[in-house]
Structure 1
Amino acid sequence: MSAILAAGALRDDGLVQEESAIAQALRDAILERRLTPGARLPEEQLAEIFSSSRGRIRRVLLALSREHIVVIQASRGAFVASPDAAEARAVLSTRRMIEVAVMERPCQPLTEETAAVLRAIMEEERQAHADHDTVAMIRWSGRFHLELALALGNEVIADIISELSLRTSLIIAIYERQTAMCCLKEDHELLLEAVSAREWIKAGRLMSRHLMEIEQNLDFSSPTPSATSLSMILKPVAVIAPK
């Protein structure tokens, strides 16, 4: 990751280092479709896999539930979220309303500093495409949208888009057609050109088209992959840290 991005890296507020590492391992397993929608996430088994405590695992699962990646049900435990087609479309529709409005009526223009951050993210995204790293593609695409919202809007708008982006990442991981490539990196380049030139109406049209293309690349009829042993799924990415 480039130095310019280090200060703005995604944080797990309230989690200690070990918990953040476990949270990231679970995110990756979900986005890579190794953990399937609806899969149960028992605290005791996760604690054993990650050589951690149930208390730490509970904190991780609560943090992931705030991201809408995990659902916690009373008396039943935690499960990987399983958004249906209606919820997916609602999330994407809400994103279009908010993100197009940010493009057309920005609170502030793009600065050289924020443009540099966006260009650095696009470089990471290009590398992810070159490496055929689907999880990295999804992650950097979401990061581009979040940083663009921060650059043109305000922290309240960015917080809303951050939550919607996380939910979209799960939706893409579940439903994206195998031949699709997440956000097309060329779309981000065109968006950056438009906002840098302060062509706000054009930027709004580009954002609307961009988000519509994401939805059109989803196949809500596609079956989810079959489940496998939780220990086998998570063992390759388990993070062993001192308690």
Structure 2
Amino acid sequence: MPRPPADPLPLAPDEAPKRAPGAGATTQQIVDTITTAIVERRLMPGTKLAEQAVADLFGVSRTLVREALNRLSRDRLVTLEPGRGAFVARPSVDEARQVFDARRLLETGMVRELCARAEPAHLARLRAHLAAEADAVRRHDVAGRTRLLAQFHVVLAECLGNAVLAELLADLLSRCSLIALMYQSADAAGHSQDEHVAIVDAIERRDADAATRLMAEHLGNVVGNLQRHPRVGDLADLLRPAA
């Protein structure tokens, strides 16, 4: 019996793989594209990632796709099930709380350090990022605001000049996107953006105690909105273009 065609990955119009005719994407490009689709909430937890569909999309062999899926599995973004294939991971509530606990331990120390070390150029970069966040929230740009609200935390690490910390946070934030898709009870983008502003204000005042408290409260507010029953979108939601 012929195999039915697989559903395409829900990529943004400007995210289609860019390659010369006959040239395939690299493993890293596949990993980056799928990760971005997860972070921007276009790939829902539990979504099947059929190897052949991904291979056709990127113009590569299934072997290369398998390498990318194995890497995503090591990052806990994809679950590999013997005999069934690859699926976007579905983290448990307990795992969700552990991820946010790890972020709290990392990020409260990070903002305390920034209060002592932030320079005018760092503050200018943070203010520019906050302006971009506010604009995306105001325009109801769901994909844009999701990416920017997450990236704020990476920018804080980059302002410290700590590439290892920035990379670690980026990995945790990808997992948080899956958690938000499944467990967050409501869209709190505007509230999160206000909390980001308050954190930067405290950093600019060199108020380490306030910055630490605000970051802990910010992450705690997200955890407080976690629900016991995950929501997973249907196919129509999965294939709807990003806002």
Q: Structures share a fold, TM > 0.5?
A: yes
Query: C-alpha distance in 1, partners of 2:107/2:159?
Result: 12
Residue-by-residue CA offset, 1:180-219 (whole Å, 9 max, x unaligned)? 3276211111111111221111100010111111112332
Give the letter aligned to residue 178 of structure 1: A
Q: State the TM-score, normalizing by the size of structure 2.
A: 0.75
Where in structure 2 are there 5+ consecutive unaligned residues? 1-23
Partner-residue secondary structure (3-state), 1:225: coil
> Is the alpha carbon distance of 1:166 and 1:32 closer, same or farther for their aligned partners in structure 2, counting shifts above 3 Å?
closer
Partner-residue secondary structure (3-state), 1:184: helix
2:239 pairs with 1:233: yes
Following superposition, the deviation at residue 162 of structure 1 comes to 2.2
> What is the percent sequence identity of the aligned residues?
33
Give the letter aligned to residue 80 of structure 1: V
State which of 25, 50, 69 in structure 1 corresponds to 2:77.
69
Indicate if the aligned counterparts of 2:40 and 2:147 stay in contact, CA closer than 8 A.
Answer: no
Residue-by-residue CA offset, 1:107-164 (whole Å, 9 max, x unaligned)? 9511122222222222221222122222322211121101112323733333322221
2:181 pairs with 1:136: no
Query: C-alpha distance in 2, partners of 1:21/1:190?
Result: 36
State which of 177, 183, 196 in structure 2 corresponds to 1:169.
177
Following superposition, the deviation at residue 64 of structure 1 comes to 2.9
2:121 pairs with 1:110: no
Indicate if the aligned counterparts of 1:65 and 1:71 stay in contact, CA closer than 8 A.
Answer: yes
Query: C-alpha distance in 2, partners of 1:85/1:214?
Result: 13
State which of 191, 198, 207 in structure 2 corresponds to 1:190.
198
Residue-by-residue CA offset, 1:17-70 (whole Å, 9 max, x unaligned)? 665554454335434555332222121122124443323323432343344222
Indicate if the aligned counterparts of 2:202 and 2:211 stay in contact, CA closer than 8 A.
Answer: yes
Partner-residue secondary structure (3-state), 1:72: strand
In the alignment of these two chains, the number of paired residues is 219
Alignment of 1:1-243 (within 5 A): 22-31=30-39, 33-73=41-81, 76-106=84-114, 109-152=117-160, 154-181=162-189, 184-227=192-235, 233=239
User: Is the deviation greater in 140-149 or in 96-105?
Assistant: 96-105
Query: C-alpha distance in 2, partners of 1:166/1:214?
Result: 15
Query: C-alpha distance in 2, partners of 1:156/1:52?
Result: 31
Where in structure 1 are there 5+ consecutive unaligned residues? 1-15, 238-243
User: Is the deviation greater in 160-169 or in 201-210?
Assistant: 160-169
Indicate if the aligned counterparts of 1:191 and 1:203 stay in contact, CA closer than 8 A.
Answer: yes
User: Is the deviation greater in 147-156 or in 207-216?
Assistant: 147-156
Indicate if the aligned counterparts of 1:103 and 1:152 stay in contact, CA closer than 8 A.
Answer: no
Partner-residue secondary structure (3-state), 2:45: coil
RMSD: 3.1
Give the letter aligned to residue 175 of structure 2: R
